[in-house]
Chain A
């Protein structure tokens, strides 16, 4: 048995292996393990060295060299022996050995290499730098515990990526230090001796927490990709336990919040829908209002007008557009030559929203969630009426109809024909915008535009 005394690295192994190979020394005659150094001492003269059995000049494929290099980083005492065994068998037994992936030696070598490559990849992924200062120089330091002996092959990556700043990476076996020009290697360090703190760890944890979706939990998958053996040096992993524990609670909260829009049965007729809507409580608005104000008008109307929500008088009478804004709409319709009775008129939100103000009920704009909650009623009305043209008055109505917050000023006066709800949709001013106008000119102008838009609707319908 030959006991090899070599520096445990690839180059040194190669030198020795080359000699042994030339002498055709079979693998089982060589002990590459240094642990037993004290037990054996090599006395070459006592060995019965065999003569070479082939004239092979021991050329091996270049990939094999790089595969062996990878293998040499494995934390496995048997690796040197395994490498030599493969080399020997390749040269003396079977030149096709390398493509027999089911051969036990090849198989083991492949597995080990894969494990080393995997470990290097995980080093690239899981090293966490912390900013620190050494002699007033910014240095980024990290402690990482790899599975294999990969400091050398594993840290070049960081020089390629972070070459513009100094960094140091410590592992229990060895450390690597970049000085802006080259990497030097030093002694290893235990985790407890590593002192690095960084405020950004907290920001990173905030990100980790926020990007996690509690509706999906796949712990096994997470652990197989990010093995707990690496966790101790990764700040975000301290959150995992709580995130998983609280996931059902977070989901529950989501589910409770979910039923905030009206549930509408489309099989009902228009009048049935109307009476159903009178008991709707899908959003808080029903509580302070007198009644729902559903749409009115002929079921076969080809023009549908959608406003924002009922006002004080609408709330009392139960009919849309009967107050001051309704007054303006009536005038505009007359000027445009449209009979009010021929049009289906409704609102995006069916209950009156208000706050008390000096004995009055002051109108308030419905919120997004309220508009959203009420939308199924509007959608049902559209489905029943099947209008040729929808005129949406004001931003609330227009948002509900076109699915996007419009700028009325820019988007009015045009026929939108790309929507599924109706062949043609037109956006215009809400009559109350005229009431709120700062001066006469503005209100006259808006009135004119409203009339123009209604005329456009009339021509579009024909």
Chain B
């Protein structure tokens, strides 16, 4: 009977504290590597698993909740700010442990992503988060995935302790530049966030070095760190956003920067846009981010002072190719890897396939098609062993028109009728 009542309160709190956490984009459980403890459950095998998908298309991999949505901060873009009249709740660390274990046991989740509003002080809040992670690992011998959000301004010792229990830790930068924060979250600074990131990355490097000499070095956030930026809440252009990402990747060896299109939240500030988030823009930022990380692009090649925003109609790689037509066509049978990576519609995997195949065989347009290369885009930019009749278009004015996807494709993002199901 008693457990029954507890379950009801737990469910009520869960509704509030999951709702409060949904504006965080990251739900990834990749990069963890842990074997099950003989006395417990849970392991991570490197590749994360999405256990479900919400109708917003997002992967549900982790139990993503806040410990509490009480917060002493007043960040305007955040529904949990102190001046919001949102319904508040607060889990005890034991309740979070309970939820995590029951969810995990039923194979609903890969693990826990725990974050929190700031209560009392950064350190006091951080200690509570750590209590959850330590309890799961030490008492319950739980070896599923744990991602802890580092509360901005938490002390070095607590960051170190968090990394000891968690697979991944992250500190949110929130906004690409300081003036955006000044406007929306005056108590926060980019400098404080990057300082936390630096502390994390220093510790990650130190741990790696120590591991080389001492096998018994305790783990520290083996799945690395990530961060999140909200886009579209301020007028900051993609230029600022991508420059910031680029420098974060360089300085703190982040695994990922997550971009979260600003979602209108109940009772938002009047200066914030009330329309639906620009999912197309968010998508373009992810594509550009991908180009930075895996395709050898630099931010300034994609956006600059003259065109500070990515095109919404055309993907960033094709956009780049259109303005740099002098670099094309590229001969797929001869070009170096770095050049192949620049062909619109050709992904990293297919570049590898091309390099493999061309050792045995002269590559033709049909071969590219068979590799599932987006030939509709690529054909204008490549020379193949057979005649490619499309490259004469390369200098044509109308090429960019041809490369724009039909307008209706973008309306995929609009809410379809439920009858579609």
Give A residues with C-beta under 8 Å from B.
96, 99-102, 107, 121, 124-131, 140, 142, 157-158, 160-165, 198-200, 202-204, 206-222, 225-226, 234, 236, 240-245, 247-248, 251, 253-255, 257-263, 282, 367-369, 371-372, 376, 399-405, 418-421
Q: Which residues of A contact B35 (CB under 8 A)?
A: 160
B residues 325-371 near A (Cβ < 8 Å) are 353, 356-357, 360-361, 367, 370-371
Structural contact, B107 and A129, CB atoms closer than 8 A: yes
Of B82-90, B242-250, B286-294, the segment with at least 4 beta carbons within 8 Å of chain A is: B82-90
B residues 79-114 near A (Cβ < 8 Å) are 81-85, 99, 102-103, 105-108
Structural contact, A162 and B267, CB atoms closer than 8 A: no
Taken together as a complex, chains A and B put the C-alpha atoms of A273 and B274 apart, in Å, by 24
Q: Which residues of B contact A247 (CB under 8 A)?
A: 55, 415
Give B residues with C-beta under 8 Å from A.
7, 10-11, 14-16, 18-19, 21-23, 35-36, 38-43, 45, 49-60, 63-64, 72-76, 81-85, 99, 102-103, 105-108, 178-179, 182, 185-189, 261, 263-271, 274, 276-277, 279, 353, 356-357, 360-361, 367, 370-371, 412-416, 418, 420-421
Taken together as a complex, chains A and B put the C-alpha atoms of A225 and B58 apart, in Å, by 10
Which residue on A lies nearest to B59, using beta carbons?
A225
* Dominant secondary structure of chain B at its interface with chain A: loop
Which residue on A lies nearest to B264, using beta carbons?
A254
Structural contact, B82 and A368, CB atoms closer than 8 A: yes
Taken together as a complex, chains A and B put the C-alpha atoms of A202 and B189 apart, in Å, by 41
Which residue on B lies nearest to A127, using beta carbons?
B107
Taken together as a complex, chains A and B put the C-alpha atoms of A260 and B264 apart, in Å, by 13
Structural contact, A99 and B357, CB atoms closer than 8 A: yes
Given known A217-B415, A225-B50, contact A160–B36 (CB-CB < 8 A): yes
Given known A199-B7, A225-B53, contact A376–B270 (CB-CB < 8 A): yes
Structural contact, B11 and A203, CB atoms closer than 8 A: yes
Structural contact, A131 and B106, CB atoms closer than 8 A: yes
Taken together as a complex, chains A and B put the C-alpha atoms of A347 and B26 apart, in Å, by 40
Structural contact, A96 and B360, CB atoms closer than 8 A: yes
Which residue on B lies nearest to A202, using beta carbons?
B11
Which residue on A lies nearest to B270, using beta carbons?
A261
Structural contact, A243 and B83, CB atoms closer than 8 A: no
Structural contact, A420 and B179, CB atoms closer than 8 A: yes
Q: Which residues of B contact A165 (CB under 8 A)?
A: 41, 105
Q: Which residues of B contact A400 (CB under 8 A)?
A: 74
Structural contact, B267 and A260, CB atoms closer than 8 A: yes
Structural contact, B52 and A208, CB atoms closer than 8 A: yes
Given known A140-B106, A212-B56, A369-B267, contact A399–B82 (CB-CB < 8 A): yes
30 A-B pairs within 8 Å (CB atoms) are namely A99-B356, A101-B357, A101-B370, A126-B52, A131-B105, A160-B45, A161-B36, A164-B39, A164-B40, A200-B102, A200-B106, A203-B14, A206-B15, A207-B108, A210-B16, A213-B58, A214-B56, A216-B57, A217-B56, A225-B57, A244-B55, A244-B415, A257-B266, A257-B267, A368-B85, A369-B84, A371-B83, A403-B185, A405-B73, A420-B179
Cβ 8 A contact of B187, one of A203, A254, A261, A403: A403
Q: Which residues of A contact B18 (CB under 8 A)?
A: 206-207, 210-211
Structural contact, A222 and B55, CB atoms closer than 8 A: yes
Q: Which residues of A contact B102 (CB under 8 A)?
A: 200, 203
Structural contact, A212 and B267, CB atoms closer than 8 A: no
Q: Which residues of A contact B21 (CB under 8 A)?
A: 211
Q: Which residues of B contact A372 (CB under 8 A)?
A: 74, 76, 81, 83-84, 267, 269
Cβ 8 A contact of B42, one of A161, A225, A260, A262: A161
Which residue on B lies nearest to A369, using beta carbons?
B85
Structural contact, A211 and B84, CB atoms closer than 8 A: no
Q: Which residues of B contact A244 (CB under 8 A)?
A: 55, 415-416, 418, 421
Q: Which residues of A contact B414 (CB under 8 A)?
A: 217
Which residue on A lies nearest to B63, using beta carbons?
A207
Given known A102-B370, A211-B64, contact A248–B415 (CB-CB < 8 A): yes
Q: Which residues of B contact A214 (CB under 8 A)?
A: 56
Structural contact, A140 and B82, CB atoms closer than 8 A: no
Structural contact, B277 and A125, CB atoms closer than 8 A: no
Structural contact, B356 and A241, CB atoms closer than 8 A: no
Q: Which residues of B contact A399 (CB under 8 A)?
A: 74, 82-83
Which residue on B lies nearest to A246, using beta carbons?
B418
Q: Which residues of B contact A405 (CB under 8 A)?
A: 72-74, 82
Which residue on B lies nearest to A164, using beta carbons?
B41
Cβ 8 A contact of B75, one of A217, A260, A371, A403: A403
Structural contact, B55 and A212, CB atoms closer than 8 A: yes
Structural contact, A198 and B75, CB atoms closer than 8 A: no
Structural contact, B41 and A100, CB atoms closer than 8 A: no
A113 → B minimal CB distance (Å): 15
Structural contact, B50 and A368, CB atoms closer than 8 A: no
A444 → B minimal CB distance (Å): 29
Q: Which residues of A contact B412 (CB under 8 A)?
A: 218, 220
